Amino acid sequence: MFKNAEELVRIAEQRSVPISEIMIEQEMETYDRSREDIYAQMDKNLEVMEQAVERGVTEQVQSVSGLTGGDGKRLHEYLQTHTPLSGELILDAVSKAMATNEVNAAMGTICATPTAGSAGVVPGTLFAVKNRLEPTREGMIRYLFTSGAFGYIIANNASISGAAGGCQAEVGSATGMSAAAIVEMAGGSARQSAQAMAIALKNMLGLVCDPVAGLVEVPCVKRNAFGASNALTAADMALAGIESRIPCDEVIDAMFRIGQTMPSTLRETGEGGLAATPTGRKYQAEIFGK
C-alpha cells in the first residue's frame, strides 16, 4: 500500500513497473478482484468518457440555466478550419475537456475524475494525447489507473472536494493527475510523472471555488479548459527533465493547508469571488429569482 507520491514512485522504481501497474495490483489486493474484472470496470468508465466527449464536440448541448454549452463544439470546429496559435494538440484537449464539462452541466452522463465539476481534464487530455501517441485500448485504461493513483494520494492526504478545499482540490487535482498520466503514456519515468503532478498542481494552488449561482458551470467549464492545457504543459516540462523544487507530496500538503485557510465564501457556497460580482449576482437573480 502506498500512502504518498514518494512511496508510489519508489515502489514503481524498485519493481521496474509503471505506476498504473501498482494501482491495478493494489485494487486487486484490497478488493480481492481479478485483473480482468477491474479492467472491465475501468473500460466502462472509459466508454462513458468517450461518449461524453463525442457528444460535447458534435451536439449543441446546453445547460438548463443557459449559462454554458456549445463552446467545446465551437473550439472543435475552429480547429477544423483554422491553424491555432497555441498548438493543435493542446486545443484539442481543451475542446474535449470543455465538451465533457458542458455535458455534465447539461445533466448528461459523465464519469467523475475525480469529481464531476472537474470531469473534463482527464478525458480531455487523454483523447487528445491518444491521437498523437496512438496507445492500445489497454494503454488508455492504464492512463486512468495512473491518474487514479495520484488522485488517490491527493484524496487521502488532502482533499478532492471544492467545498472543503476550493477549485485547486478539484480542477487542480485533475490537472496534476492528468499530467502524471500523460508522462507515463509518453514513456516517461514514474519519477517524471510525480514531477509533472507537482508542477501542474503548484500552478493551480489557491484556486477558489466560486460558482456563479452555485451552478457547476461558470467558471467550471473554462477552468477545465485551462486544467487540460496546464496538464500538457507540465507533462512536457517533466518529460524535458525539469524538476519541481518542492517535492510532490509537499505540494499536495500545501494545497491542503491552503484549502483549510480558505474562507467558506470561496469554497463552493456561491457567495464569493466570481459569484459575488454584479454580473454573477444578476445571473443568480435571473435563474432563481432571488
Partner 1 sequence: MQFRSVFDIIGPVMIGPSSSHTAGAARIGLVARQLFETEPEWAAFHLYGSFAKTYEGHGTDVALVGGILGFDTFDDRMTTSFHHADKRGLRYTFIEEKAQPEHPNTVRIRLGKGEDVLELVGISIGGGKVEIKELNGFALRLSGNHPAILVMHDDRYGAIANVATRLAKNEINIGHMEVSRKEQGKEALMVIEVDENIDSETMHDLTMLEHVRRVTKIHD
For 269, other C-beta atoms within 10 Å of its C-beta total: 17
The answer to whether 95 contacts partner 1 (rule: CB under 8 A) is: no
Tally of residues, the chain: 290
Distance CA 272, CA 167 (A): 13
Of 162, 172, 176, 219, the one binding partner 1 by CB under 8 A? 162
Q: Which is nearer to partner 1, 133 or 287 (CB)?
A: 287
Residue whose cell numbers read 464531476: 116
Distance CA 126, CA 123 (A): 5
CB of 199 to partner 1, least distance (A): 20
* Interface positions, 204-223, toward partner 1 (CB under 8 A): 211, 213-217
* Paired strand residues for 209: 267
For 31, other C-beta atoms within 10 Å of its C-beta total: 9
Q: Which is nearer to partner 1, 49 or 91 (CB)?
A: 49
Of 94, 110, 196, 266, the one binding partner 1 by CB under 8 A? 110
Candidate segments 160-168, 185-193, 226-234, 237-245, binder of partner 1 by CB under 8 A: 160-168
The answer to whether 115 contacts partner 1 (rule: CB under 8 A) is: yes
Task: Look up residue 196 and give its three cell numbers.
Answer: 509533472
Residue whose cell numbers read 504518498: 4
CB of 91 to partner 1, least distance (A): 24
The answer to whether 269 contacts partner 1 (rule: CB under 8 A) is: yes
Q: Which is nearer to partner 1, 245 or 290 (CB)?
A: 290
The answer to whether 112 contacts partner 1 (rule: CB under 8 A) is: yes
For 186, other C-beta atoms within 10 Å of its C-beta total: 18
Distance CA 222, CA 120 (A): 10
The answer to whether 17 contacts partner 1 (rule: CB under 8 A) is: no
Distance CA 56, CA 68 (A): 12
Of 92, 268, 272, 280, the one binding partner 1 by CB under 8 A? 268
Of 90, 140, 169, 232, the one binding partner 1 by CB under 8 A? 169
Q: Which is nearer to partner 1, 84 or 214 (CB)?
A: 214
Distance CA 27, CA 36 (A): 12
For partner 1 (CB under 8 A), the number of binding residues is: 62
Distance CA 168, CA 235 (A): 18
Using only C-alpha atoms, the chain has a radius of gyration, in whole angstroms, of 18
Q: Which residues bind partner 1 (CB under 8 A)?
A: 3, 23, 26-27, 30-32, 41-42, 44-45, 48, 63, 65, 103-117, 119, 122, 144-145, 147-149, 151-152, 155-156, 159-164, 169, 177, 211, 213-217, 264, 267-271, 287-288
